[in-house]
Amino acid sequence: MTDEKTHFGYEEVPVAEKQERVRAVFDSVAARYDLMNDLMSLGIHRLWKRRTVELAGVRRGQRVLDLAAGTGDLAERFARIVGPQGQVIMSDINGSMLRQGRERLVNAGIVGNLDFALANAEALPFASDTFDCVTIGFGLRNVTHKQLALNEMYRVLRPGGRALVLEFSHPTTKPLAKAYDAYSFSILPTLGRLVAGDAASYRYLAESIRMHPDQETLLGMMEQAGFERAGYENHTGGIVAIHRGYKL
């Protein structure tokens, strides 16, 4: 084991430990994840996800990989659009989250064109040039080596395919940043304690958002991975950003 350190929220932890600690966070929040998302974003996360689907522009018969799929909000929409000739693979590194997601989608009647993969985004178990679209929604910031994950997303895309990263980002104006900080560090952990019975995990979520690369840095990382025509758009004042790049 090396001495290399990475951040876990505001803490410095050995690289080998981060994955384990992120897993613990999501094991703890899995059951109430959807409810917490609604509370945390006041329901706006639905619009952010809708916009991601619009930008993905997925159509009949395509193959889509949804990474860090969580409870499967994006995967569900894609599976309904690509039809029986298409395929959607819903992937997450966390077994509890993936189980929750699978249960929810099977109960919603999504079967046949939806598969599940317990996989690490840094080393995807898929052949190169496989997917028309790869998405990762609110997941990249929990990945230990983000650049590796972006490289992998690029590798598994077919030429002409597109990747979308929906992630919390950095507010573009000072007053909003202040209000947002107050919200994340006092209200959010309290909500977490009341609803999910776990303040620490939600504090980690807030901290990890602050440590995540800002819009321009992430854009640079996507270009580094090989993506072309890469760009991003801010939503809700930069609290969330959607990055998109193509493999050409």
**Interacting residues with another protein between 21 and 60 (CB under 8 A):** 44, 46-48, 50-51, 53-60
Q: Under a CB-based contact definition with an 8 Å cutoff, are residues 103 and 35 in contact? A: no
Q: Is 236 in the site for another protein (CB under 8 A)?
A: yes
Give which of 205, 213, 168 is closest to 184, Cα–Cα.
205
Q: Is 136 in the site for another protein (CB under 8 A)?
A: no
Closer to another protein by Cβ: residue 80 or 193: 80
Closer to another protein by Cβ: residue 130 or 172: 172
Q: Minimum distance from CB of 91 to another protein (Å)?
A: 21
Q: 3-state SS of the chain?
A: CCCCEEEECCEEEEHHHHHHHHHHHHHHHHHHHHHHHHHHHCCCHHHHHHHHHHHHCCCCCCEEEEECCCCCHHHHHHHHHHCCCCEEEEEECCHHHHHHHHHHHHHCCCCCCEEEEECCCCCCCCCCCCEEEEEEECCHHHCCCHHHHHHHHHHHEEEEEEEEEEEECCCCCHHHHHHHHHHHHHHHHHHHHHHHCCHHHHHHHHHHHHHCCCHHHHHHHHHHHCCEEEEEEEEHHHCEEEEEEECC
Q: Is 202 in the site for another protein (CB under 8 A)?
A: no
Q: Is 63 in the site for another protein (CB under 8 A)?
A: no
Q: How far is CA 99 from CA 55, 116, 144, in A?
A: 27, 9, 22
Closer to another protein by Cβ: residue 133 or 149: 133
Q: Is 86 in the site for another protein (CB under 8 A)?
A: yes
Closer to another protein by Cβ: residue 16 or 179: 179
Q: Minimum distance from CB of 134 to another protein (Å)?
A: 15
Closer to another protein by Cβ: residue 14 or 83: 83
Please name the residue that has the structure tokens 């230990």.
144
Q: Minimum distance from CB of 221 to another protein (Å)?
A: 17
Q: Is 75 in the site for another protein (CB under 8 A)?
A: no
Q: Is 233 in the site for another protein (CB under 8 A)?
A: yes
> Total binding residues for another protein by CB under 8 A?
37
The window from 12-20, 26-34, 120-128, 238-246 that contacts another protein (CB under 8 A) reads 238-246
Q: Minimum distance from CB of 58 to another protein (Å)?
A: 7
Q: Which residues in this chain contact another protein in the complex, by CB under 8 A?
A: 44, 46-48, 50-51, 53-62, 77, 79-84, 86, 109-110, 172, 231-238, 242, 244
